[in-house]
Amino acid sequence: MLALKKAIALILAMIAQQQAEMKDFKPLGQITGSDTSVEQPMAVMAADQRQLNDIWRRHKDLSDELPGGLTVPIIDSSIPTVDFKKNIVIAFFAGQTTGIAGYSIARIDIKGKTAIVRLAPQPFPGISMSVSNTYGMWVFPRPTKAIELEMITGFNRGQPVIRKIARFEAPKKPSS
């Protein structure tokens, strides 16, 4: 009976710790805009610097094409560095959009074993019919749960219309 009580106490402590970790799941930084080189819609998670470098090179079109169709990455000192022992990066590229300047995080909800990050498009000031390739990138604390990315696509009778964009499983702990 004593072992059962200890096991229950341990399980409750673990649940409380997980909830406390995800309670503070908020973006630590963001960049967003309408000037990415990525033309196709996609959402990606970077759990290490190599992955972020690849995303950034694609975002800024940092490669040279050599004869024969080979591409060589250009080294760029503007690639952000992130402490991936503690953080991850979520990037959303919308492809071609009209009148959208970028994206903001409208809300974050924790439901069970999933953090739901809801994005909202940010229109250009005034009336704009500008066509651009929009994106958003956010640095988050390294999660212990899965992340679902959603987009507010409009409103119906005052309620947001939501579209699921992607789901990312919790990344493995980085190797030291």
Tens of pLDDT, residue by residue, the chain (176 residues): 666 566 566 666 555 555 555 567 899 999 999 889 999 999 999 999 999 999 998 888 866 555 666 665 556 657 888 999 999 999 999 998 888 889 999 999 999 889 999 999 998 887 667 788 999 999 999 999 999 999 999 889 999 899 999 999 998 877 65
Structure tokens at 9: 């106490």
> How many whole angstroms separate alpha carbon 125 and alpha carbon 130?
11
State the number of CA atoms in the 13 A half-sphere of 105 facing the CB: 21
Instruction: Give the DSSP letter of residue 126.
Output: S
| Three-state secondary-structure class, residue 10 | helix
- What are the residues facing 146 on neighbouring strands? 114
